Chain A
Amino acid sequence: MDEKKILDQIKKSADNLDIPDSLKPDNIEEKINNSNPKKKATVFVYKIGGLAAVLLLTLIVVWQVGRIGRLAEENTAETNALVQEQESQNVAEDAVEFQKTIVHAESYEEIYQALSKFNEEESISMYSVPDERSMAEEDVADDAGVNDAETTASLTESADMSATGQMTMDHSETNLQELGVDEADIIKTDGNYIYVVKGNGKICIVRAVKGNMELTDTIKLPNLSESIEEMYLDGDTLSLITRGSTTALEEGDENVYDMNSSQYVKIYTWDIEDRANPKLLGSITQEGWYRESRKNGSYIYLFTEYAPEIKERQDTSQFIPKVQEEDVQIDDIFLPQTLNSSNYLVITSMNINTPDKVEDKKVIVSAANMFYVSTENIYICNNNWTGDRNTTQIMKFHYENGKLQAVAAGEVPGSLNNSFSLNENDGYLRMVTTSWDSNIDTNNLYVLDSNMEICGSLDNLAPGETIQSARFMGNIGYFVTFRQIDPLFSVDLTDPRNPMILGELKITGFSSYLHFYGENKLLGIGNEVDPETGEYKGLKLSMFDISDSTNVTETDKYILKDVYYSPGLYNYKAIMIDPVKNIFGFLAEETYVVFKYEKEGGFINLFARNMSDGGDDSYYYDTRGLYIGDTLYLFDYKKIRAFDMTNEFTEIGIIDL
């Protein structure tokens, strides 16, 4: 496909557009000349008003912080207030320091005031970048990166007996970021059955035995207007995350009705002990649209984003999100001193054994650009641009058996590549960022202690390059930066206060995804780039020998020429990988490819199949693979195909869903 040609076609299609007269330069100039010349002054006065409000808010916070016993912050907050007072002459700069404590809201009224103020400032503020739906969807897909543990994907239950008394085959698992923290997906398997989200509204349960497939049952949602986002599978329990929306007419003035629509996310839990006859056990619901979720033990943690409506006539139901149909109580709402968005992040937890009940909930008036969930904590990260400088603000919530607790917030220079740029180990959060400073990118590594204070750092690494991928294991971190060639850095993090660069390997191209692949091996999937011209040459697999962190070497590489598109490069769940079984697969352009790696032979291509013949409703460009025993299954949203891995990947089965 010639991308340039299509881009040109699109550009050309706009050439003959008639531009509305009102936008012609003469008319715009006239409009400007006619606009109120006092406007400037009004804006100025308003800004002072805004700052005064901030001061007031700061004082409230100081009082409140004292009251709830978070004493440590008091002095800094007071100092901030003083500093702001002195700076009030110079209102052009937004000068409120980032808050280290995650502060409770005092009242619904306080939230309403803060939101109104934020929205008004938004309308005149130029640099603000509020979190938006389009980005919200983005982050979900953006979390490509690295696996935390060597064998995350490989739950090799070598043929033990499952609860249903069936033999369970070894099988692949959803590719996860963090060992022990499960992630939802559109396809799951337990070794006997494959579960897929079909057409958003249905789940197909397919019995799969050595390539023979049979549709056991189809689960439909009780409310057909809802659709399925993703699912979790836990033994005989299947939990579906769904979205829906409601619209209600509300009378404002007499005989005048407002259209109020709201979006919600539900988790439906089904008992599938009898796969042919699943039973709905219950559901929970919360407002907002789906961002992400995680599961640890029996608990699912659900993150939604809620956009309040700020109208003059206020009613809490319009600006306070609901969980289980009720407005979230003020005690569970956090209101940062400085808002970065007028949206809320709603976090709830539920136990799949009590599927009608929300275990705990916390709500923050904040954007959420990125999530990282360790086995103990939830980190919510936001990109923050002020003028020419960028920072990342992180809020930390501790979780345990469904209970959620705000811990602290921190801020570091630079922005994150994806969630794999963060990793928690032994209470310390290690992260790599790229900062934009005096028109040049530089890269940094920070170690934050359990209170989110920076305790160790390395900065100004690889000026002019940006971080493309990262991954941490125990005391060692690896990350890739890129401009024309790809240095793979290794960092010793044994002393969190004193991280040290151990080595830097320069090779051509760069890896966008890193995965520990068995003992002392690190697999990189990315792009090959011509070091002279910067031209992309195709998709590249690299195997790094990391037995000596101070001297990492690229032992093998494999280039798929002219392959640029692979969903695995930005959605790690689209990669099937199991180092123990020595197999990994992903879609490359239109072809699903499967590889193994051998020390002697390097990368060996086992399988390649063009998926673009799947018919009209197939989404072959997001083909997912999984294996059960010796059978590979490929799902293109319409069909599942089976291939015998012991017999040259012969196609042995197909089912239309």
Chain B
Amino acid sequence: MEGYESLVQQAKSGDTGAFSKLYEVIYQDLYRFALYTLKNPHDAEDVVSDTVMDVWKEIRSLRRAEAFKAWIFKILTNKCKRRLKQYITKTDELPEDITADSRDICEDMDVRMAFARLSDEERLILALNIFGGYNSREIGKALFMSDNTVRSKQSRALKKMQENLMK
């Protein structure tokens, strides 16, 4: 994006308009990532909103402008992981499907249902790849795995996806 660094600089000096422009480019992916990881639209909305507010508060401490997107995703990832943990420790039932308002076509629904049946970890890995644009190495760093492990897990998750889709 043109003027990306200068937008980050402006945002760092407190320009909400500049921050908003930076946010505009990625907010859809942030939401998609959170929704596909958490399967719950309200929680996804919450974590994205929380993340953006945190990022705004802390943007001055961002050292490298080019890391802006990675930084937001890292914070969002951590928040999602914490939510996932709460689903386990609290008794909330996770929905079987990714429920969301959308203008769906059947095939998308099927894909989403198949995705929802993956494990927490598998959803997280695939969502980081697809919506965060991370490679296996970067995902590995975020989740404390070797990139090989990420690749194996991703292959396995996609295999499961394929099987789920065929059912």
A: residues with CB less than 8 A from B are 1, 3, 6-7, 9-20, 22-26, 28-29, 31-33, 35, 39-40, 43, 92, 124, 126-130, 132-135, 137-139, 141-142, 144, 247, 259, 261, 263, 289, 307, 309, 369-370, 383, 387-388, 415, 417-418, 436, 466, 468, 512, 527, 564-567, 569-570, 621
The listed residue (A12, A40, A124, A138) touching B143 by CB distance below 8 A is A138
Evaluate whether A14 and B149 lie within 8 angstroms (CB atoms) in the complex, with A28-B23, A32-B16 already known.
no
Min C-beta distance of A480 to chain B, whole Å: 11
The listed residue (B48, B100, B147) touching A23 by CB distance below 8 A is B48
Min C-beta distance of B74 to chain A, whole Å: 8
Contact A247 B91 (CB under 8 A): yes
The listed residue (B17, B78, B131, B159) touching A14 by CB distance below 8 A is B131
Contact B102 A16 (CB under 8 A): yes
Type the 1/0 row for B142-160, where 1 means its CB is closer than 8 Å to any CB of A: 1111111101111110110
Contact B27 A28 (CB under 8 A): yes
The listed residue (A17, A18, A138, A567) touching B145 by CB distance below 8 A is A138
Q: Report how far A134 CA is from B128 CA in the complex, Å.
A: 14
Contact A33 B81 (CB under 8 A): no
Answer yes or no: B40 CB below 8 A from chain A CBs. Answer: no
The listed residue (A31, A128, A139) touching B144 by CB distance below 8 A is A139
Contact A621 B57 (CB under 8 A): no
Contact B57 A124 (CB under 8 A): yes
Contact B91 A126 (CB under 8 A): no
B: residues with CB less than 8 A from A are 16-17, 19-21, 23-24, 27-28, 30-32, 35-36, 41, 45, 48-49, 52-58, 61, 63, 71, 74-75, 78, 81-82, 84-85, 88-91, 100-105, 107-109, 111-112, 115, 120-121, 124, 126, 129-131, 137, 141-149, 151-156, 158-159, 161-162, 165
Q: Report how far A468 CA is from B148 CA in the complex, Å.
A: 8
Contact A7 B101 (CB under 8 A): no
Contact A126 B24 (CB under 8 A): no
Evaluate whether A124 and B54 lie within 8 angstroms (CB atoms) in the complex, with A16-B102, A133-B84, A307-B85 already known.
yes
Evaluate whether A22 and B148 lie within 8 angstroms (CB atoms) in the complex, with A16-B103, A134-B124 already known.
no
Contact A570 B35 (CB under 8 A): no
Q: Please list 21 pairs of residues, one from A and one from B, whose beta carbons are closer than 8 Å in the complex, sorted by A's number.
A: A10-B115, A10-B126, A13-B111, A14-B32, A14-B112, A14-B130, A22-B49, A23-B30, A31-B53, A33-B16, A126-B55, A135-B143, A138-B143, A139-B144, A261-B91, A289-B88, A307-B85, A369-B144, A527-B148, A564-B155, A621-B159
Contact B149 A141 (CB under 8 A): yes
Min C-beta distance of A142 to chain B, whole Å: 5
Please, which residues of chain A bring their CB within 8 A of the CB of B102? 16-18
- The 4 closest A-B CB pairs, nearest first, are A13-B111, A29-B20, A13-B108, A132-B81
Min C-beta distance of B130 to chain A, whole Å: 5
Please, which residues of chain B bring their CB within 8 A of the CB of A259? 90-91
Please, which residues of chain B bring their CB within 8 A of the CB of A144? 148-149
Min C-beta distance of B135 to chain A, whole Å: 12
Contact A16 B104 (CB under 8 A): yes
Question: In chain B, what residue has the closest Cβ to A590?
Answer: B159
The listed residue (A10, A130, A383, A512) touching B130 by CB distance below 8 A is A10
The listed residue (A14, A26, A92) touching B36 by CB distance below 8 A is A14
Contact A35 B143 (CB under 8 A): no
Please, which residues of chain B bring their CB within 8 A of the CB of A570? 146, 148-149, 152-153
Contact A20 B90 (CB under 8 A): no
* Contact residues of A: prevailing secondary structure: mixed
Evaluate whether A20 and B108 lie within 8 angstroms (CB atoms) in the complex, with A3-B155, A259-B91 already known.
no
Please, which residues of chain A bring their CB within 8 A of the CB of B53? 31-32, 35
Most buried by B among A10, A15, A137, A387: A10
Min C-beta distance of B148 to chain A, whole Å: 5
Please, which residues of chain B bring their CB within 8 A of the CB of A133? 81, 84-85, 88, 120
Please, which residues of chain B bring their CB within 8 A of the CB of A565? 152, 155-156, 159
Q: Report how far A7 CA is from B144 CA in the complex, Å.
A: 23
Q: Report how far A569 CA is from B48 CA in the complex, Å.
A: 35
Question: In chain A, what residue has the closest Cβ to B121?
Answer: A134
Min C-beta distance of A219 to chain B, whole Å: 27
The listed residue (B31, B56, B84, B141) touching A17 by CB distance below 8 A is B31
Please, which residues of chain A bring their CB within 8 A of the CB of B104? 16
Contact B148 A19 (CB under 8 A): no
Please, which residues of chain B bring their CB within 8 A of the CB of A19? 27-28, 31
Question: In chain B, what residue has the closest Cβ to A385?
Answer: B141
The listed residue (B21, B74, B130, B149) touching A7 by CB distance below 8 A is B130
Contact B146 A417 (CB under 8 A): yes
Q: Report how far A39 CA is from B54 CA in the complex, Å.
A: 11
Q: Report how far A128 CA is from B142 CA in the complex, Å.
A: 11
Contact A137 B121 (CB under 8 A): yes
- Extra inter-chain contacts (15) besides given A14-B130, A263-B89, CB under 8 Å: A6-B162, A10-B36, A18-B101, A24-B27, A29-B17, A35-B56, A43-B57, A132-B81, A134-B81, A138-B143, A138-B145, A142-B145, A436-B141, A466-B147, A565-B159
Q: Report how far A98 CA is from B115 CA in the complex, Å.
A: 41
The listed residue (A23, A128, A436) touching B45 by CB distance below 8 A is A23
Question: In chain A, what residue has the closest Cβ to B41?
Answer: A20
Most buried by A among B81, B149, B165: B149
Please, which residues of chain A bring their CB within 8 A of the CB of B17? 29
Question: In chain A, what residue has the closest Cβ to B59?
Answer: A126
Most buried by A among B24, B63, B130, B154: B130
Question: In chain A, what residue has the closest Cβ to B48?
Answer: A23
Please, which residues of chain B bring their CB within 8 A of the CB of A141? 149
Q: Report how far A398 CA is from B45 CA in the complex, Å.
A: 47
Evaluate whether A418 and B146 lie within 8 angstroms (CB atoms) in the complex, with A14-B32, A29-B19, A566-B152 already known.
yes
Contact A126 B144 (CB under 8 A): no
Q: Report how far A95 CA is from B128 CA in the complex, Å.
A: 31
Q: Report how far A43 CA is from B59 CA in the complex, Å.
A: 13
Contact B23 A18 (CB under 8 A): no
Contact A134 B120 (CB under 8 A): yes
Contact B78 A130 (CB under 8 A): yes
Contact A3 B84 (CB under 8 A): no
